[in-house]
Structures are given as C-alpha cells and as structure tokens.
Structure 1
C-alpha cells in the first residue's frame, strides 16, 4: 500500500522484505519496525531495529534492507521539504543530518500507529482525501523527526518521560553526563539489579545504557563544535569521552565524517 505526494511517499507492505543490492536515495527515509527485528546494512555498519524502533537514513546514504519481520513500513521525505520545515522551526543547520542509529521515541511510535490504522481502514478512500491526509501527515512527521530524531540539528539527545526507575537514572545522567558512570552505579540508582535495569533501559530507549550515554555526550558536543574554537581533544574530554579516539570513532560511525569535517561544514553554512 502506498500514499504518494510531491513532498514524499508512505509505504506499507508485507512482501519483498529484503533487498539484493545497495540503494542510494535523494530523500530522507524513516524506517520503522512495527512487529520485530529488522536488519539493515550500510557501507559504514550493520544496524538492527527491534520492534517499536526507527532508523532515519540521510539522503545519498547507501543502504540495503537485509530482512524485516512481517511488515515493511517506511516514509520518504523530499530533501528540500524537510529543510524548509527545519527553516520554519528556526533550526540553525540548513542540512539536518540524522545519526545512523536505531532509536525509540513514543511520539514517533504514536504517529506510525495512527498512520498504519488510517492506511488499513481507508484503502478505498477518495484520491482527494488521501492527498489531503498525506500532505498534512508528512508535515507532522517532518516536525517529529526534527524534534525526536537524534542528529546534527540538536544539542541534546531527545528524551521522554520514562518509568520512575529509569527516570531517576536518565535525569542523573543528563546532569552529570561528563562523569565516568558504570552500569552498577546506574542500576543502584534505579533500585533494580543491573540485568533488569539494562533490559528495561534498552526496551524503553532502544539503546543500552552505555550507548545512550555515549550518544548523549556526542550530541552535547555539537554546540562546542559549531559555536566555539575549542580543540577536538578538549571537546571530547569535556563531554565525558575518555580519549579523543573513542569520540572520533563514534562520530564517524554515526555521521560518516570526523568532528573536524562536521565543524568545517557547519562553518560553511
């Protein structure tokens, strides 16, 4: 089932759930996993998406869907359309780049659930109704992606209200993200054993506690990269990385470029 509009395409299908070759599109692509695990491959890394998680692929990023459970749900957004929405929201970066990372956020999930229900029960609706619906839906999604999709346009990892056990930990990590946290310390703060805590954290956010913290640190570094002349080494240490190599490696893995190149591309904008 497809809804097509000049600003993008929404696709939901239950066949052809794998791809034989890499593809590169000139649009932003949100891929959501409603039922179970999806496996994707890029030139930089392999990515798994569990049920309820999403992945945003940037324009011209070579990627291939290896497999996905039961249903393929994706939305393609015209590149200029998303840029225009970002401009209307007064975001500082003209060309938003999303991290190559699966993530989870309830607002994205609610939007997808609503869209899937509409597509399921309104397959025979008039063309005019479908066009009007998807036009507004794509605008909604663009806003949600820019609010809750981790990327260059943000200076903080998108968060949400979690269960009390997790919220205490997330609040503490946000306050002291530059400190050297251990899983044991996080678990003690949550009141759970570390295995229960790690499972609940991953189920809620789509990331392990340590991966979440590292990503939070990386996104907090955006402002320092784009608004100061602080050295890359000092930025890495300031936001909590143990060494500049770990910072550079994570940055390159999720953005496909070094922090230095990220800084210079922003200065050009």
Structure 2
C-alpha cells in the first residue's frame, strides 16, 4: 500500500523484499524495520537495520535495498517540510544532513507503529488529513531526535537504567579511552549482558555508539572554529585521523574537511 501527499509519501509492503535496483531520490527517506533485519547497500558500504530500528537517507544519497524482513515500511519527506520543521525548532544549521546509521529511538518507534496501525485499520476516510499531520509530526521528530548535522550531540534516549547510566558516564567522559569492561562496570552488569542490553536498546554496540557520539560532539568545532582537523579529532577522543576520517565518510559521505567546507558555504 502507498499513500501519496504533496509533501511526501508513506509506503508499506510485504512483497519485493529482496534486492532492488540502485536509487537516488530528491527527498529525505526514513526506513523502519518492524520485524527483523533489513540490509541496504551504499557506495560507502552496507548498512543493516536491526528489528525496531531506523535508517535515514538524505536527498541525492545513492542506495540499494538488499533485504527486508517480512515488511518494508518507508516514508519520504520533501526537503521543504523538513526545513519548515527546522524553523519551528529554531535550527541554525542548513541544510540538514542525517547520519547514515541504523539506530533506535522510542519516540520515532511510537510514531511508526501508530501510523502503521492506522493505515491497517483505516478504510480510506480521513487518510489525507491524517497523512498531512503525520508527515509534519515526523519532520518535527526527526529534527529533534534524528541524528545528523543539526545536532550538537547524540539525541537523548531515556531507557533502561543500567544502559542509561553507562551512556551518561560515557557522555561525561567521552574523550577518555573506555574499555567494554569499564562500561559494563558502570552499568553494574557483566560485559556480555551489557553488550546485549545496549544493542537491543540503541541498535549499536557500546564502543560503536561511543565513536559516533565523539563524532557528533566534534561537529560544532568543524563548523564554528578554524582548529585543525587533526586537533579536533584528538580533542574528541579519536586515536587517529584515519579512524576519524573513515567514520565521517561512512556516516556523511564526506571527509571532515569536506563537511567543514560544505557547511561554511551553506551557512544561513
């Protein structure tokens, strides 16, 4: 089933879930995997979506669906609608680029399940009005909780106390060299239980989440200072420029230098 609107569309299907052709769209695209793993290919490498996880593609980002489990739920949003949501949020970064990451957030999850259920039970009456409001709601949620260039750090998640306790500790000391044992000790769990609980809640392995958090904290320095890329990388906890460059390219399809230049050219 597909519902079109002048500001985007919502698609829900249970067929054609295998490999598809390469795509490059002129809109923002959110893909939700309600039942199990999804897999997408990009020029920077494959990205898997965990059950109850999300993946965002920016306009012009080349990608290809390799696998979806049981159902594909996809939402397209026109850039103009996201810009309007950004103005309501008083966002200062333009244009918005979302990180190419599979992640989980309870508010986005709640939105996706509500919309899916509505279209399952609704017989057509009131769909256009509902879709109009739903797309704007999603745009606002993405500006608030979607990880990307408009965020100074990773969007807040308030979940299970042990995971949240470890996450807060890492945020406070993200420049330090954390081991899995140290993270698990803060959570008061053994490291195997901690790794499982952390990934179930966030969609990330603990150390991968920490590296992404470091990258997000570094974005403001790239945009607002003339500090060298090397010093920014080291100041934010990265052990090498190679690691920093590789992660940045995978998430934003740009090196840190290209990211800095792009946002200086497009600053409001």
Q: TM-score of the superposition, structure 1-length normalised?
A: 0.97
Match of 1:188 in 2: 185
Q: Distance in 2 between matches of 1:200 and 1:137?
A: 31
Structure 1, 154-163 or 210-219: larger mean CA deviation? 154-163
Q: Does 1:214 align with 2:207?
A: no
Q: Distance in 1 between matches of 2:238 and 2:132?
A: 42
Q: Distance in 2 between matches of 1:186 and 1:76?
A: 37
Structure 1, 156-165 or 21-30: larger mean CA deviation? 156-165
Match of 2:224 in 1: 227
Q: Distance in 2 between matches of 1:80 and 1:43?
A: 26
Q: Distance in 1 between matches of 2:133 and 2:247?
A: 36
* Cα RMSD after superposing both structures: 0.9
Q: Distance in 2 between matches of 1:200 and 1:60?
A: 35
Q: Does 1:268 align with 2:256?
A: no
Match of 2:118 in 1: 118
Q: How does 1:36-55 map to 2 (within 5 A)?
A: 36-55=36-55
For residue 86 of structure 1, report the CA deviation from its aligned partner: 1.3
Q: Does 1:162 align with 2:159?
A: yes
For residue 84 of structure 1, report the CA deviation from its aligned partner: 2.4
For each residue in 1:190-223, what CA deviation from the matched residue of structure 2 results, as whole angstroms up to 9, or x when unmatched? Answer: 1111011001000000000001000000000011
Q: Matched residue of 2:103: which SS?
A: coil
Q: Distance in 2 between matches of 1:69 and 1:111?
A: 20
Structure 1, 157-166 or 63-72: larger mean CA deviation? 157-166
Q: Matched residue of 1:202: which SS?
A: helix
Q: Distance in 2 between matches of 1:267 and 1:216?
A: 22
Match of 1:149 in 2: 146
Q: Distance in 2 between matches of 1:48 and 1:29?
A: 15
Q: Distance in 2 between matches of 1:42 and 1:248?
A: 17
Report runs of 4+ in structure 1 exceeding 6 Å deviation.
none
Cα pair 1:87 1:94 within 8 Å, conserved: no
Cα pair 1:31 1:74 within 8 Å, conserved: yes
Q: Matched residue of 1:47: which SS?
A: strand
For each residue in 1:69-96, what CA deviation from the matched residue of structure 2 results, as whole angstroms up to 9, or x when unmatched? Answer: 1001010001222122212322111211
Instruction: Select 1:240's aligned residue among 237, 247, 254.
Output: 237
Q: Matched residue of 1:9: which SS?
A: strand
Q: Does 1:203 align with 2:195?
A: no
How many residues matched?
266
Q: Matched residue of 2:102: which SS?
A: coil
Q: Distance in 2 between matches of 1:263 and 1:163?
A: 36
Cα pair 2:89 2:143 within 8 Å, conserved: no
Q: Distance in 2 between matches of 1:164 and 1:85?
A: 31
For each residue in 1:7-52, what CA deviation from the matched residue of structure 2 results, as whole angstroms up to 9, or x when unmatched? Answer: 0000111111124320111000000000001111111110111110
For each residue in 1:132-186, what CA deviation from the matched residue of structure 2 results, as whole angstroms up to 9, or x when unmatched? Answer: 1101000000011111111101011012112121121111011000110000101
Q: TM-score of the superposition, structure 2-length normalised?
A: 0.97
Q: Matched residue of 1:199: which SS?
A: helix
